[in-house]
């Protein structure tokens, strides 16, 4: 009760409701009792905050009322600085744009990957076909036109020589093997022997996936070749074996020798051997022989970026191609080259190696 009385006194003292006598007495009390004085100060401070707080609330209410009369939305639209179209597009849609871009990049990369674009990038085959250059082609066209003009009355069509490769005999009765890419897309094929004599031939059988083609000489002028001097080696040959080839990379037959350098071709392709023979355009389809006179492959293609790396289709693929022929083929099993020097071997072999010429109409 005493506390309540004191509180009441403090309030009356502060509000000035006390009589002069009471006021004096209370002043005396404040001096005597510091606790009363502290209490008074605290109360004064507290009520001040309370008062200010209420003033603040009242002011906020007034301001809110004023604010509610302002059309903030329209004002905001007028005042906001609109960045340029591109910036806005990016700000509003940057996540979508990013996702779309990522998907696009991923799609492109995966498409390239699936289509094998990356695999082919590093090293490309140059087919060893002896493609006559653009210049020659143009000259041929000119010649053709001239000839057509000259022969316009008889209407004779002059065929042009397009590709040249090499082929070699597998039987004495005129079966010749070459690369598929040498004869593909050409319907007229001639083979020319070492003596320079040409015979008409037809394409008997092809295996595009193994790049093998078997030709048959159909020309009536063709005589039996006589016994084939070389044999076909079925088993795989060893690395570092001395090998050689003979082929028409130029107008004349050219000999080339080297080593067997790898048992698989480009990117581990088991179709091929790798060889270190310096072969050129026109060597395609030529025989690859080891030092004993066994055919171990068909010279096939040249690797474009690595120096001195060339390929030859393994004999085992040739043999399976021969097996696939409709007719029965008796392969030579008696090797007459085994004990000869390379010089003597080549003298014999070259009679069984032909230049393959193709013509388009």
User: Is the C-alpha dihedral spanning 194, 200, 204, 207 positive or negative?
Assistant: positive
Among 25, 28, 41, 63, binds another protein (CB under 8 A): 63
Cβ closest to another protein, residue 47 vs residue 148: 47
Considering only CA atoms, which of 286, 206, 183 is closest in space to residue 244? 286
**Stretch near another protein under the rule CB under 8 A, chosen from 29-37, 57-65, 100-108, 266-274:** 57-65
What is d(CA 191, CA 186) in angstroms, rounded to the nearest whole number?
13
Cα–Cα dist 140/133, whole Å: 10
* Contact with another protein (CB under 8 A) among 14, 31, 35, 52: 52
Binder of another protein out of 2, 19, 20, 81 (CB under 8 A): 81
- Selected from 66, 135, 195, 330, the binder of another protein by CB under 8 A is 66
Considering only 53-61, 114-122, 124-132, 140-148, which stretch makes contact with another protein by CB under 8 A?
53-61
Binders of another protein in range 184-203 (CB under 8 A): none
Closer residue to another protein (CB): 60 or 122: 60
Which helix (H) or strand (E) segment holds residue 239: the answer is none
Q: Quick one: DSSP state of residue 259?
A: E
State both tokens at 281: 């355009």
Q: Kindly state the tokens that stand for 152.
A: 């316009």
Q: Measured from the CB of residue 29, what is the shortest distance to another protein in angstroms? A: 18
The site that binds another protein (CB under 8 A) totals a number of residues, namely: 31
Among residues 43 and 136, whose Cβ is nearest to another protein?
A: 43
Residue from 71, 238, 307, 323 binding another protein (CB under 8 A): 71
CB nearer another protein, residue 57 or residue 306: 57
State the minimum distance, in angstroms, from the CB of residue 98 to another protein: 20
Question: Does 361 interact with another protein (rule: CB under 8 A)?
Answer: no
The answer to whether the CB of 288 falls within 8 A of the CB of 300 is no
Only one of the segments 49-57, 139-147, 214-222, 298-306 lies at the binding site for another protein (rule: CB under 8 A); that segment is 49-57
> Contacts by 30-39 with C-beta closer than 8 Å and gap 24+?
36/6, 36/10, 39/6, 39/10
CB of 115 to another protein, least distance (A): 45
Q: Which residues within the stretch 3-42 sit at the binding site for another protein (CB under 8 A)?
A: 3-4, 7-8, 42
DSSP for 20-64, written as a single string: HHHHHHHHHHHHH-HHHHHHHHHHHHHHHHHHHHHHHHHHHHHHH
User: Burial of 4 by CB count in 10 Å (0-12 exposed, 13-18 middle, 19+ buried)?
Assistant: exposed
- Residue count of the chain, please give it: 361
Q: Which of 24, 67, 137, 234 binds another protein (CB under 8 A)?
A: 67
Q: Output the smallest distance, CB 61 to another protein, in A.
A: 11
How many helices (DSSP H) and strands (DSSP E) are in the chain?
A: 10, 14
Classified as helix, coil or strand, 82 is coil
Tokens, residue 201: 């031939």
Q: Given the rule CB under 8 A, which residues bind another protein?
A: 3-4, 7-8, 42, 46-47, 49-54, 56, 59-60, 62-64, 66-67, 69-73, 75-76, 79-81
């Amino acid at each position: 009760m005493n506390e309540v009385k004191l509180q009441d006194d403090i309030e009356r003292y502060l509000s000035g409701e006390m009589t002069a006598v009471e006021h004096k007495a209370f002043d005396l009390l404040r001096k005597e009792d510091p606790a009363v004085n502290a209490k008074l100060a605290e109360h004064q401070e507290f009520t001040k905050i309370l008062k200010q707080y209420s003033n603040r609330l009242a002011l906020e209410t007034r301001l809110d009322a004023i604010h509610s009369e302002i059309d903030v939305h329209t004002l905001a639209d007028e005042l906001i600085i609109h960045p340029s179209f591109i910036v806005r597009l990016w700000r509003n849609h940057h996540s979508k744009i990013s996702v779309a871009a990522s998907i696009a990049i991923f799609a492109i990369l995966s498409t390239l990957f699936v289509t094998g674009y990356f695999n082919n990038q590093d090293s490309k085959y140059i087919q060893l076909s002896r493609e006559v250059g653009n210049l020659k082609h143009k000259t041929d066209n000119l010649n053709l036109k001239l000839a057509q003009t000259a022969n316009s009355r008889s209407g004779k069509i002059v065929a042009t020589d397009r590709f040249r490769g090499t082929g070699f005999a597998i039987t004495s009765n005129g079966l010749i093997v070459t690369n598929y890419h040498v004869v593909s897309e050409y319907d007229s094929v001639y083979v020319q022997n070492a003596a320079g004599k040409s015979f008409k031939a037809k394409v008997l059988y092809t295996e595009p996936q193994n790049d093998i083609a078997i030709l048959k000489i159909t020309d009536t002028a063709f005589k039996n070749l006589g016994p084939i001097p070389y044999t076909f080696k079925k088993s795989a040959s060893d690395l570092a074996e001395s090998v050689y080839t003979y082929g028409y990379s130029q107008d004349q037959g050219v000999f080339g020798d080297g080593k067997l350098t790898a048992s698989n071709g480009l990117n581990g392709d088991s179709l091929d051997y790798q060889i270190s023979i310096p072969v050129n355009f026109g060597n395609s389809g030529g025989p690859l022989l080891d030092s004993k006179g066994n055919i171990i492959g068909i010279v096939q293609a040249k690797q474009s970026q690595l120096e001195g790396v060339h390929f030859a289709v393994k004999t085992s693929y040739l043999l399976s191609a021969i097996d696939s022929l409709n007719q029965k083929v008796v392969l030579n099993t008696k090797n007459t080259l085994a004990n000869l020097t390379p010089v003597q071997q080549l003298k014999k072999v070259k009679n069984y190696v032909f230049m393959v010429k193709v013509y388009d109409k």
